Chain A
Amino acid sequence: MIEVEQIRKKYKDTEALAGFNLSVADGELFGLIGPNGAGKSTLMKILATLIHSSEGSASIAGIDVARDPESVKRVVGYMPDQPGLYQDMRVREFLEFFAAAFAVPKNKQRAAVEIALERSNLTQRGQSFVEELSFGMKQRLVLAKTLLHDPKLLILDEPATGLDPIARIDLREQLKKLNAEGVTIFISSYILSDLEDICDRVALITAGKNAADAQGQSVLVLQSPGSQMQIYEIDFLGDATFAAARANEAPGVRVLEATQSRLLVEIDGTNIEAARLLQFLVMAGVVVTRFDHPAPSLERRYRQVFGAKQP
């Protein structure tokens, strides 16, 4: 869906992008992470046809972004960081205006607006002025506006910024639902736990270039489709070798790491398999003091890649 090759964007004194590469497949929910000023927003603006790259190429659904921006606009829905709204318009008027602006055929505009209102849970607020909505509602309205023309690709630049936890959960669920409907989503966010929850893969960017983790990977795989692998951390008292051996005996379990008082295991299955492992260990005589998911791995990997580079 997205192909970016050696893309560069130079301003007078700075280079926002310095040869970044990216490939996002159809139907993926793909994240982009990096520190402030890494070039995330610049890359997203280029893909949304807002600005031109200085060098390199970018294409969306096979369409060159620089050569045919009109066609790109038809397949892309872009939500900038801190999106603006017309506060003095009614919610329905706002959506009607953008339906017309996205050239939705006149006979389909009404239906498109109804779907957008429904999608954003704002059907009851259609006649309210935008300024009367809460921040979370406004964010939902912007997302609904972005979806009016049924884009194949959603480009979301920090969509969760400023949202309260409930609104963030709602947004995550909405994105998962859209992705399940076949919409490819390219999202940047500082809230790594959100990305970890929803993204299939995440690209690392720093100083306008691809960044790599300790294993040399610039794209981190977070979820393989269809996989039910779960990582658990088990704290215990007693002999580590004994505990590791018992865990390895359990069906569908692989010990990834074993220290003096902690095991890191991978379980092939759901929470039921996890509960069975816990039961198995206790029955085998291992004194388990804690059985839980480890700290989010994306956060750990982010710290490994960018931690030292942060001011």
Chain B
Amino acid sequence: MSLSGNPMIQKELRQRMRERRGWILPSLYLVALSAVVCLVYYMITEPRGYSDVISYNSTETQGYQVGVGLFLAAAYTQLGLLLLLAPIFSAGALTIEKEQRTLAGLLTSLLGPAKIWWGKFAASLLFVLLLLVAGLPILTVAFAFGGIGIWEVFITTLTMVIILGTMSAIGLYWSSAFRRSVHATAVSYVTVIVLTVVPWIIYIVAATGTRDDSVYSVPYWARFALYANPVFFLTTSFVPRAQLYPAWCWCLVVFISVSVLCVLLALRNIRRSGDIS
């Protein structure tokens, strides 16, 4: 399962970087991320200007507040953009082999379903991670203002890697289940939307009428739905290290469980796809 020992990964990355979207998407992604960060900076500091931001007058916006504001804006924007982009790479990964009739060649080689899956998964995740890493300099602009340290950047990035890994696994499952890329991509987007929106609706409905606004005051099943929400998972990472348990840890368990389930189902589908290859 190593990266270097699997010819699929090299092939996939080479083909991906040859496509026009190989450079267009990272460019657009960075432009969008930068634009959001600039806008948020303007909204926080305007009309006082930067000189007032760093003043020590308690009624003025403090530097660390700008730092935290920029960091949160960059992190949520990054997650939003990458949730939009991840299905593009994973949902078409196996369907393209079916569409161009190359799956039979792979299945009759000595790669086997596990190596085919791993190659596709690693290649699609690596491309999304490339975008994530490319956005890190923008995320770390917050360092200049204070309020954000290495730990915050690390745990946020780790959380996003787990979220994107799960989204790639879901996309690959749909890719193994459908014959056409357009169908697999559409269903992957529906899954992302359902995971992002539905848990909040469930949570809001369940929280209506509860005494306090703590997550733990809502019924267990409503909280469980929230643990599968990528935005909530990212939010749970913005806490001190000691408070990662229980919310962040529960989210981690749910995301890893979903990923494992998707892997097993995708492998089963790949094994059975000899007929349509």
- Mark A residues whose CB is within 8 Å of B: 45, 48-51, 70, 73-74, 76, 78, 80, 82-89, 93, 97-98, 100-103, 145, 149
Contact = CB atoms under 8 A, between A and B. Distances in A.
A101 B7 contact: yes
A97 B275 contact: no
Interface string B88-130: 0000000001001111111111111000000000000000000
B241 interface: no
A99 to B, nearest CB: 9
B109 A101 contact: yes
A101 B104 contact: no
Nearest to B274: A50
A194 B11 CA distance: 36
Contacts of A88: 15, 18-19
26 contacts: A45-B274, A49-B107, A51-B274, A51-B275, A70-B112, A73-B109, A78-B108, A80-B277, A83-B105, A84-B100, A84-B102, A84-B104, A85-B100, A86-B11, A86-B100, A93-B11, A93-B14, A97-B11, A98-B109, A100-B7, A101-B7, A101-B109, A101-B111, A102-B110, A103-B110, A145-B105
A270 B92 CA distance: 58
Given A84-B100, A89-B15, A48 B105 contact: no
A303 to B, nearest CB: 31
Contacts, number: 71
A272 to B, nearest CB: 46
B53 to A, nearest CB: 50
Given A83-B104, A101-B8, 18 more contacts: A45-B274, A48-B104, A49-B274, A50-B108, A50-B275, A78-B104, A78-B108, A83-B101, A84-B97, A85-B100, A86-B15, A88-B18, A89-B14, A93-B11, A98-B105, A100-B7, A101-B110, A101-B111
Contacts of B105: 80, 83-84, 98, 145
Nearest to B10: A97
- Say what secondary structure dominates the interface of chain A: loop
A148 to B, nearest CB: 9
A208 to B, nearest CB: 15
Contacts of B14: 89, 93
Contacts of B110: 70, 73-74, 101-103, 149
Counting chain B CB atoms within 10 Å of each CB, which of A83, A86, A145 scores highest? A86
Nearest to A94: B11
Contact of A50 (B8, B112, B277): B277
Given A88-B18, A101-B7, A80 B109 contact: no
A101 B106 contact: yes
Nearest to A101: B109
B274 A80 contact: no
Interface string B1-40: 0000001101100110011000000000000000000000
Contacts of B15: 86, 88-89
B239 to A, nearest CB: 45
Nearest to B100: A84
Contact of B108 (A49, A82, A100, A103): A49
Contacts of B19: 88
A284 to B, nearest CB: 59
Contacts of B18: 88
B98 to A, nearest CB: 9
B258 to A, nearest CB: 29
